[in-house]
Amino acid sequence: MGRIEDLKDIHKGERCFIVGTGPSLNNTNLKLLRDEIVFGVNTFYKMGVPCKYYAVSDLFVWRNHKENILHLPSLLFLSGHAAIEFAIHKAPKFTFMKDPIVLLEIGIDKFAKDITNGLYNGQTVIYDICLQVAYYMGFERVYLLGVDADYSKSHHFDGEQAENLSGGAAGDWSRVFRAHKLAKQIFEEDGREILNATVGGKLEIYKRVKLEDIV
């Protein structure tokens, strides 16, 4: 628990980039992130972009990619079924910084300002972990990339389909969008901001910006 508490406001006033795995990444100049604080998720490691933080909540992603993810030089966050699977099978210990931070999933339709008590599920790892952790860490401005919220064509940047065929993968984005609306509200009430730098996609809840205009 002490490790989680040590993260409180460690990036107060700073900015970060949370990067999903949408096909829009193929039209994104990810080299621009080389000097930025990046949260990667799921199979983003395939892009070879250094990530300070990494997050997985989906069981299928964890089962199929854990060997690669556990060896990343990133501080790893696990929640949901991925966290349960990790705990049950007691994955091998790594160095202190590589040993995952396991966070409890405690419900839905809420936002955890204090992650020491757990996180709320929004049917996307961007919300399930990244946005709530970024808030706790004190980031003032959060930029989203590769968060397409659109599975009408390819699901992911590598042409692979979603491994968990529920929620958006089943065509229902309602809970995902509801979670994003709540995250927007929480950040703005605290004088902070989430902006969408994704190239295209259908996530229109946040103000749109271009990555090239930011960095």
Tens-digit pLDDT profile for residues 111-166? 999 999 999 999 999 999 999 999 999 999 999 999 999 987 777 777 677 666 55
Percent of residues in the chain assigned helix, strand, coil, to nearest 5: 35, 15, 45
* Closest-CA residue to 25 (of 160, 194, 213): 160
Where in the chain are the domains?
2-214
**In this predicted structure, what is the pLDDT of residue 96?**
39
Instruction: Check residue 3 and give left, alpha or beta (phi > 0: left; psi -120 to 50: alpha).
Output: alpha
Query: Model's pTM, two decimal places?
Result: 0.93
For 174-193, the pLDDT digits (tens) are 999 999 999 999 999 999 99
CA angle 173, 177, 179 (to 5 degrees): 120
